[in-house]
Amino acid sequence: MATNDPGHKVLRPKALRHTVLRCLESRKNIAGSAAGLAGLALTFTGLAGVYWPVVVAGLYGAGALIAPPERPAAPDLPDPARQLDALREDFARLRASLAQVELPPAAAGRLTELDGLLAALLDPEPAGEALLLDPEGTYALSRIVRHDVPEAVDTYARTRWWTRLAPGADPPERHLERQLSLLFDEAGAMASALREAEAGRQRTHTRYLEERGRGT
């Protein structure tokens, strides 16, 4: 009889085979099987007597109990290169979207400056390799591209619409210009940090070559 109980799970053949193989290949099963074989050896020598099934089962259980636990699977970490490629694609879509938005001159100028800086940071050469070594910088850059800039421009467009209905409020373009300036400063600090990291690696390599030269 079929059941609609969501708690009733049926393993598919492939999943069932995978589960069985995991059990067979587990450390506990291997250790228990080795101990069980020792019990069979005792049976063949006559030491286990008529209680050999109990001896074999007991040794198997003891072996399974003393076996070391399974090692946890290694975490599936995202590939930094793929993350950067996806970020570059999102940045290209953002630029195409912003090209269709009409902004006041001051904010448009700040956006152009920010766009140029972001493009330089996301350029595969030479900044790409530096970003691969800086996951925090990649995350901060992703936040600017995927959230901060779209949110700033979208909020400006919506606020400007309401300002037309109720004039006299704080001009939304002033906030947009300020937000873009702050994002430009953040991206600029990121570029400075990446430059300093590259300079530090260069200095480290110089010291390594100097020490290697003194050792020869």
Q: What is the rounded distance in angstroms from the CA atom of residue 123 to the CA atom of residue 119?
A: 6
> 142 lies in a domain?
yes
| pLDDT at residue 8, rounded to an integer | 46
Task: Report the pLDDT averaged over residues 151-176.
Answer: 81
CA distances from 144 to 9, 148, 179, 194, 214 (A): 44, 5, 11, 16, 47
**Domain shared by 101 and 208, yes or no:** yes
* Whether residues 37 and 129 fall in one domain: no
At 3 the pLDDT is 45
Do both 35 and 109 map to the same domain?
Answer: no
The answer to whether residues 40 and 84 belong to one domain is no
| Amino acid found at 73 | A
For residue range 179-216, list pLDDT tens digits in order.
999 999 999 998 888 888 888 888 999 998 888 888 76
Each residue's pLDDT tens digit, 99-149: 998 899 999 999 999 999 999 999 887 666 777 778 888 899 999 999 999
pLDDT at 63 over 70: no
* Same domain membership, residue 207 and residue 112: yes
Domain residues for the domain of 24 are: 13-66
97 pLDDT band (50/70/90 cuts)?
very high
Total domains present in the chain: 2
Q: Which residues of 40-77 are buried (b: 16+ CB within 10 A; e: fewer)?
A: eebbeeeebeeebeebbeebbeebbeebeeeeeeeeee
**Has residue 74 been placed in a domain?**
no
Same domain, 60 and 88: no
Identify which has the larger pLDDT, 171 or 187: 187
Mean pLDDT throughout 10-31? 57
Could you tell me which residue, 101 or 70, shows the higher pLDDT? 101
Residues 21 and 114 in one domain: no
In a domain, 201, yes or no: yes
Whole-model pTM: value is 0.61
* Helix ranges, the chain (H): 13-25, 27-44, 52-66, 80-98, 105-121, 129-132, 135-143, 149-165, 172-215
> What does the pLDDT look like over 82-96, one tens digit per residue?
888 899 999 999 999
d(CA 198, CA 71): 37
Residue 29 three-state SS? helix
User: Do 153 and 59 sit in the same domain of this protein?
Assistant: no
What is the per-residue pLDDT for 9?
A: 47
Check whether residue 55 and residue 33 sit in a common domain. Answer: yes
Residues 61 and 156 in one domain: no
From 40, 66, 92, the end of a domain falls on 66
The rounded mean pLDDT for the chain is 76
Residue 85 and residue 61 share a domain: no
Asked whether residue 23 carries a pLDDT value surpassing 90, the answer given is no
4 in a structural domain: no
The answer on 179 and 131 residing in a single domain is: yes
7 pLDDT tier (thresholds 50, 70, 90): very low
